[in-house]
Structures are given as structure tokens and as C-alpha cells.
Structure 1
Amino acid sequence: MTQISTRWRSEARAAEQTCAKDALPRLARAPVPAVAARPGVVKRAADIALSLLLLPLLALVSLCLLALNPMFNPGRLLFLQIRMGHRCEPFVIYKFRTMTDVAEIRRSADDPLEVDRITRLGSLLRKTRLDELPQIINILIGQMSFIGPRPDSYDHAMVYLDKIPGYRRRHDAVPGITGLAQTEVGYVQGIAATRRKVAADVFYIRNSGSRMEMWILWRTCVTVVMGRGK
């Protein structure tokens, strides 16, 4: 399965050498085979089964946070945000809140992450990826999968659609909690870095299959164990 990472890095380097200014987005403009409107039966069944198994963990973490939040992360338990999903349709994503509670978020599509708002408890949740756990609800509803392109804020995504070649194509697949962009590119901020994420997402769609899914799952487990989440 290491061939997947090697192929991805090889394509990325080739694109950078060919055209520095518009390097990785060239991968996103490459022909993309038609993909299923929804995950295959096996993948969908696996998503549902794993989500049901994780429901007790979701309940346990929720209870712990309800007890800890008043002291270490005052405010609402959940963070709800409109994201761009499959076929560019909006949906509400669920996360455990990791930042100080504010009435309105003003971060634009090209602004850096507001790290000053991340609480100590929130930082732990982000490093272990436990903040993403409530998204099993999105999976059970059918809005997400465990593996797929990570959905962006809807407002930011509308900007990326206009400024990043190939951005729309990453929405040919159902969005996921984790994906190739998260394991191989990492957390990205701003329009320039999002171009690299798009290239990885389209590479995933073009090469989707059981080996790709297992590779991403393995790499995600490594990220969680090593505490590399952000």
C-alpha cells in the first residue's frame, strides 16, 4: 500500500516541476472517471456498522465533556457549521466545540486558523481527532462517509469554486471524516494551500478502491496515535 503514497508524491513532484505557479492544481484538472453518486453497498454498510459501534463512545465522550467544559471550555457542547457536501450541496456538520464560544465567526477563506481561540481541552480533542466523533451522526444520515474529501465551510467553498481549478470535482465523492489530503498533505489554510488539498482529493477519487481506503485508514490511525491532529 505504500505504492499509493509513492504515486501521489510522484505526481505532485512532477506537477511542481512542470508548472511552478499552477503546480498541484494540474492534477485536479486531469480527467476524472465518473464515480458513483453514493458509496458502494459494502462501503456504506461498513460506514453504518462502524458508526453504530462508535455510538457508545460518542455518548461517553459527550458526558465527559459536559462535566469538563464548564471548567476548561465554557460554552456549547457541539459546534454546528454549514459545509459543502456531495455535488456541492450544503449540509450541517457536527463537531465537539474546541474553540472559545463566539456568536459569529468572521474568518474568511484566506485567513489563517484562529489558534488563539483554541482552548486547552479543545487542543486535546483536535490532536486525538475526538472532536470529529459527532460526525458519525452525519454518516448515519448519509451525508458523509468515514473516508472521503474533507468538506469545507460552505462560504469558503464558494470562494474556492471560483478561484481554484478542479475544486468542484472533489465534490463528486461523498465527503469524509478523513481523507488522503488529511494524511498526506495535512491541515491547510488559505487558498494557496487548498490547491494542494484539491489535488490530493481528486487523486483519491481517480484511484478509489479498497487498497486506497485501507491506506487512508492506516495513515489516519497513525496520525491519531501520534497526536498529529490540528
Structure 2
Amino acid sequence: MATRVPWLKQRKALIGLALLDSGVLVPVYNLLFWQQIGRWPGISGAVGALVVIWTTFSYLLGRYSNGKENKSIASLAIVALIVTTLTVGAVWLGVKGDARTLPQFLLPLLVVSGAISTVLAKSINRNTRQRDRWLLIASKAEQRIVDEEVRRGSSDHLLIVSCSEDAEIQEKLKTCNQEVGIAISEEIKLDDKTIEQLLTRRSKGQQVMKLTDWFESRFQLMPPELLSREWIVMADGFRLQPDQFSWRLKRLGDISFALFLLLITSPLALVAAILIKLEDGGPILYSQIRTGQYEQQFRIWKLRSMRPNSEQDSAQWATKNDPRITRVGQVLRKLRIDELPQLINVLKGEMSLIGPRPERPELERQLEATIDHYRVRHWIRPGLSGWAQVSYNYGASVEDSRIKLGYDLYYLRNFSAWLDLLVLLKTIRLISNGKGASPSDKARKQICLHSKSKSGQRTSIKG
């Protein structure tokens, strides 16, 4: 079976933006080099290094992020200016005594390149959003789930309807031209006439898909309430299994990279240990029992970020500005330095570098009783970081755990070494931006059958 890569399809435009930056930077570099120095260098090692530096800073600062909001040209230009400043500084510090590193060469090069790519990126984003229109057809119970997720994702150009009769569907289809995609729940039973009409539309290039596939392709998660047990048993994907080549490859990568990380981060861990001890004189490490693969329990260790005996009564969710967290602990959590001892768990085979985060058994009992299909996340080793961690903010409630399970299910279905690499890159970006384990001000609204559908004006689709 071919590797599932819906996450890559979702990022075609983002990869295109990085290639667009390269395509702008190279000719502007050559033109400016020819104008100031008198020759045409072509594609050289110097311009290649400049492209790498520029695209790296652009990625870390979110220029290639698939943000839900429609950013203004001014905000895009500000980010491009920051990238320009960082790139000039990095090049100037790295290479001195070369005419190409002087501000009179670098500044106009990067300002012009950044301005051109920003305008083009804004135009591409606007055209993509105009074409991205969908009719979502779901049952009444499922509509509440869809409505909450769409509101959380701040998606525009969506018409969400609940239909139980084919006549209703026929009426809604009349409002859709060829540019409008159609996503239909498997709970909706279609008659032959409706199926023939949908087949005709699809043969002419109109997008028609399952509602679950639409969630997977657009939001890169799979709301557990939309999935039946039969679907989980028979769905394609879910290929990360013992004795498979992908399983052995992932384990080899875990061991190699964990050893490398232990080596390069040991001085940082030593400094953190000293600071923890100096702050309050308490223990440097603390441990907890977590649930791992196949619901086997194991012990993890962390650099202590909370005051001693913070949970002597019972397990608690972390909160915003949690008074239990020490000053040193706040820094450790933002940079995720407190997780470094778990590399030992990776080497022991209890964890992986990438996978669903392991939860505490006492909290999981509540989660399993509340969230559909929660145990599916135990099919693979838990991870030091994961798709849910880089796609959603720190979980601090049952509602957050429900949403994050949707991302975990997506990861289980679509695992590949390339997806692990993407999670690793996104983790590096989160750490570089200081966005570690910090709960949001408010728990996100839950996606569940029991949540009440809020009233509000939806964006309609005109034929």
C-alpha cells in the first residue's frame, strides 16, 4: 500500500511559497551582483547558502505556515522585514570581508526579494481562499460536531447543512456550481438519483468526498465522534505495526536521534539541574507513572518544574499562570527542556520521539469514559512530541484531550518517516518561538455529540 500523504497535499501551497522565495531571490541576487560587481554568478554556493538561511528564518517565523486567518499585506511585510534583518545579521556574522556581505548589497537584495515574494504570496493566498468553497452535508447530530470544528478553525466559505431526505440534498445541490466542493457524511443514505447526479458532477471535475476525508484533508485531524468502530477496523492506513519495516525504521531513528540529543543537550540539562536546585533546594527530578503502548504502564522522569509535593492529594490539570510552577520551571516548560530525561525512556523502548503524548492513568480513566475511541491512541508507543502537540495548544482539560485525540488518530492513520520529520521541524519551530507546555487562557470548545450548537450566521455559498 502506498504511503498516505494528505499532510503533504495540504502543504503544496506552502512548499510553493518556499520555492517562490528561492525563485525570486536567485535572479535578484544575480542582477544586483552584476550591477555592483560586474559579473553574473549564476547559481553558486553563496546564493544557495543565502536561500537556505532565508527560508529557514521564514519557516521559523511562520511565513510558510498555513494560518487560518487571512493576514494583511502589512503583517506579512513586517514578518518579511524581520526575516531580512535576521538574515543580514547571520550572514554578516558568519562571513566577513566579502563584498556580498556588506549592507549595501544584502539589504537591497533582501528587501526587494522579500517585497516581491510577499505580494505574490498574498495574491496566491487570496485566490486559493476564493476557490476554497464547500457544501458540508451531515446528520443533525454530526452537524454540531462539524459546526464546532469549523468555528474553531475559523474557516470561511462553508455552508453546513443537515439533511435526512434526498429531496433536501437535491435542493442544496442546486445552489452549488462546479467550483463548490461537496462533502457528505456516511450517515446520509443516498438514493440512486442523487448518486447519479453526484457521479456526473464528479466526472466533470467537481470535488465530492466523504465528510471524514474532508476533515482529514482540511484540518488534518479526525474527530473521533465521526468515526465508527467498523470504520476504524476497515479503514486504510494505520500501518505502524510491530514487525513492519516502518516500525523497525522508526525504532532505529528513535535510538540514533535520542543518543545524539542526549549528547548535545547534556550541558543544558546540567545547567537546568543547577538552577532547579538553587531556586528552592528541592529535588532536581520527579517521576510519574504514564500509560504506554497497549496500555502498559511505565515510569517517566522529568526535570522538576513545579514546587515539591504539588500533587500530593490528586492529579490535576495544569492551568494558565499555574502557581505551582516555579520561575525556573516556566522557562524549562516553554523550551521543553524539562522533557529531556524522557530520552532515556526512548532508548528503553517505552517511548518514541514522535507519537501521542503519554497520559497519567488516573486522568485516562476519565478520558476513556468520556471520549470515543480514546484507547486507539495506545496502538503505538507514546512520543516525546507528536502531531497533536505541534498542531494544537497545550492540553489542559477533557475538551482539549478530545480535540488532540483527533490529531492523534490522524497521525496513526497517516504515519510515515516524512510525517515524523515534519513533526520534528514543527517542534523545533515551537521551541524557537518559546511556545512550550503552556495552557491557553480558556479551554477550547469541545467537539462532541453532547455539545450545544451555537446560533450564528453562517457564510452562504452562492451558485
CA–CA separation in structure 1 for the residues paired with 2:267 and 2:300: 20
Q: Secondary structure at the match of 2:301?
A: strand
Aligned to 1:113: 319
Deviation at 1:88, TM superposition (A): 1.0
Output the aligned Cα RMSD.
Answer: 2.9
**Structure 2 unaligned residues grouped into runs of 5+:** 1-6, 13-65, 69-131, 150-222, 438-463
Sort the Cα spacing of 1:128 and 1:43 in 2 relative to 1 into closer, same or farther, 3 A: same
Match of 1:158 among 357, 365, 374: 365
Write out aligned runs for 1:148-187 (5 A).
Answer: 148-187=355-394
**8 Å CA contact retained: 1:181, 1:197:** yes
Q: Secondary structure at the match of 2:384?
A: strand
Aligned to 1:26: 225
Deviation at 1:132, TM superposition (A): 0.7
Deviation at 1:58, TM superposition (A): 4.6
Is 1:145 the equivalent of 2:352?
yes
**8 Å CA contact retained: 1:27, 1:202:** no
Sort the Cα spacing of 1:189 and 1:129 in 2 relative to 1 into closer, same or farther, 3 A: same
Deviation at 1:104, TM superposition (A): 3.9
CA–CA separation in structure 2 for the residues paired with 1:118 and 1:188: 16
CA–CA separation in structure 2 for the residues paired with 1:146 and 1:19: 36
Aligned to 1:37: 242
CA–CA separation in structure 1 for the residues paired with 2:240 and 2:336: 28
Kindly provide the amino acid, as one letter, of the partner of residue 36 in structure 1. Q
- Larger relative contact order, structure 1 or 2 (CA cutoff 8 Å, min sep 6): 1
What are the Cα deviations for residues 105-143 of structure 1, in whole angstroms up to 9, with x where unaligned? 44556x453711111111111111111111110001000
Write out aligned runs for 1:1-230 (5 A).
Answer: 3=9, 18-20=142-144, 24-26=223-225, 29=228, 30-31=231-232, 33=238, 35-37=240-242, 40-102=247-309, 104-108=311-315, 111-113=317-319, 115-230=322-437
TM-score (norm 2): 0.44
Deviation at 1:59, TM superposition (A): 3.3
Deviation at 1:26, TM superposition (A): 2.4
* Structure 1 stretch displaced more, 153-162 or 52-61: 52-61
Deviation at 1:211, TM superposition (A): 2.3
**8 Å CA contact retained: 1:28, 1:198:** no
Q: Secondary structure at the match of 1:192?
A: helix
CA–CA separation in structure 2 for the residues paired with 1:85 and 1:224: 25
* Percent identity (aligned): 31
CA–CA separation in structure 2 for the residues paired with 1:96 and 1:145: 19
CA–CA separation in structure 1 for the residues paired with 2:406 and 2:393: 13
What are the Cα deviations for residues 1-37 of structure 1, in whole angstroms up to 9, with x where unaligned? 5545799x99xxx79x943259633256552536413
**8 Å CA contact retained: 1:147, 1:213:** yes
Kindly provide the amino acid, as one letter, of the partner of residue 198 in structure 1. L
**8 Å CA contact retained: 1:73, 1:98:** no
CA–CA separation in structure 2 for the residues paired with 1:64 and 1:196: 36
**Structure 1 unaligned residues grouped into runs of 5+:** none
What are the Cα deviations for residues 157-176 of structure 1, in whole angstroms up to 9, with x where unaligned? 12211211111001111100
**8 Å CA contact retained: 1:73, 1:122:** no
CA–CA separation in structure 1 for the residues paired with 2:404 and 2:419: 16
Sort the Cα spacing of 1:192 and 1:5 in 2 relative to 1 into closer, same or farther, 3 A: farther
Q: Secondary structure at the match of 1:20?
A: helix
Kindly provide the amino acid, as one letter, of the partner of residue 113 in structure 1. T
Sort the Cα spacing of 1:229 and 1:3 in 2 relative to 1 into closer, same or farther, 3 A: farther
